[in-house]
Amino acid sequence: MRRNKLLWVPLIVLLLFLSACSGQEVKSNNNKINPLEKEEPNVSMGPQSSGITEALLKNVDWTVEKIGLNDKPVEKLQLTEKGLLYALSEGTLYEIQDMKKVENISDSLKLSTFYILENKEETIIIAGGSHGEIYRYSTLDKSWIQSSVDTYQAPISIMASNNVGDIYVGQSSKLGGGLWLSQDSGKNWTKINDLTVRGIAVHPKQNNIVYIVDKLPYISTDGGKTFIKINTKANYGVLIHPIHSDAIYHASSIGVDTTDIQGNISSYMQFYLEGSMTKLQLNPQNVNQWLMGFWNYPYGTGGLYYSENHGTIWTQVKGELEDKLVYDIVFSPDGSLAYIATKSDGIWALNLSKIK
């Protein structure tokens, strides 16, 4: 009889363990050590913090507000230091003042992407057209000027700038592609290579380091003159945190590979969610706080996901943004708000300061 009682002990322990492992949040699979742990002691890459995160986020009241462009698809957002939000919807560029007044500023132009440069005197918008055009707009004269650039008759894919105002434009199409550089805020352009380009990231502290993405990611250490392949298949985009810039994040459909500045892989993680990533963004004031769009295309489910521990565990943002396809995410400069662009339901603002 005593032996039978002893046999129940390991069975009870096993049941308690299985019960503790269940939860609503989705954990990531992390391998190796992320270099950011040396820079930021609060970065947690292991499962030891998952129980705390689950307890804190299980009953969050997500504070979400509709901003504008109701029932419209919004493909891209950018927020200026002055608080103006710009949104690209169905080829039209809108300026949103005080998060209420929406104004069409691109007239009848058909745009494919845009990028904003700011200085003390003016705000400059560089925009790509649906047939390879590159336009320049200044808030001083409020007019669009088309640049003379030898591009393919296909949409401009992507734009990015460094901290001294140099701006890169990439194109990727069936006809071909290339990477162009302007060093005078978009007035004149020089083609620097023929690689097809779907993504660009310029290092925030070292202007000569440029990353581009096509079928594979590449790195340039000479301002885009030459590029070397990076040994990762993650080709959804490149992210660099403006403060902790020693780690370069290469996004794939289901996770992130991390490299050092030279492109050497230091860690990788997989997000165990149903579907694939549509957008990933890092809070500029908190390297641990990430937002991600994830979507299950066959079933039309997913939405916005939140992590407060460097992508280790993800919690879905419930409420208005649930089952909405996320196209773009931008943070306010202080990191307290996130603006979310959706496929068919306009722009939303998520108040991150309310998350307790």
Q: What pLDDT digit, counting tens, does each position of 167-215 carry?
A: 999 999 898 899 999 999 899 999 998 989 999 999 999 989 999 998 8
The pLDDT assigned to 50 comes to: 30
Q: Which two tokens stand for residue 65?
A: 């507000």
Whole-angstrom distance, CA of residue 13 vs CA of residue 147: 70
What average pLDDT score do residues 109-120 get?
A: 92
Per the listing, tokens 């904003």 go with 116
- pTM for this model (two decimals): 0.84
Confidence class for position 249, pLDDT limits 50, 70, 90: very high
Query: For residue 268, how far is the Cα from the chain centroid?
Result: 17
Instruction: Give backbone dihedrals phi and psi of 2, rounded to 5 degrees, phi first.
Output: -65, -40
62 Cβ partners below 8 Å, 6+ apart? 317, 318, 319, 321, 350, 354, 355
- For 245, half-sphere exposure in the C-beta direction (CA atoms, 13 angstrom radius) is 11
- The reported pLDDT for the residue numbered 121 is 83
> What was the pLDDT predicted at 34?
35
Q: What is the pLDDT of residue 356?
A: 67
Domain boundaries defined on the chain: 50-72+272-355
The arithmetic mean of pLDDT across residues 129-146, rounded, is: 93
Question: Considering the chain, what percentage of its residues have pLDDT values greater than 90?
Answer: 60
Report the pLDDT averaged over residues 327-348: 95
Q: What is the pLDDT of residues 54-104, one digit of tens each?
A: 444 556 778 899 998 988 999 999 999 888 899 999 999 999 987 678 999
The pLDDT value recorded for residue 49 is: 32
Least confident of 19-23, 225-229, 332-336: 19-23
- Alpha-carbon distance 336 to 126, whole Å? 27
> If you average pLDDT over every residue of the chain, what do you get?
84
Percent of the chain topping pLDDT 70: 83
Note the pLDDT of residue 28. 62
Query: Which of the residue ranges 31-35, 227-231, 282-286, 310-314 would you say has the lowest mean pLDDT?
Result: 31-35
Tell me the Ramachandran region of residue 204: left when phi exceeds 0, alpha when psi lies from -120 to 50, beta otherwise: alpha
Span 250-299, pLDDT tens digits: 999 999 999 998 888 889 899 988 899 999 999 999 999 999 999 999 99
pLDDT-derived band of residue 24, with 50, 70 and 90 as boundaries? very low
Helical segments of 202-332, H only: none
Residue 157 in contact with residue 151, Cβ under 8 Å? no
Q: Is 4's pLDDT higher than 90?
A: no
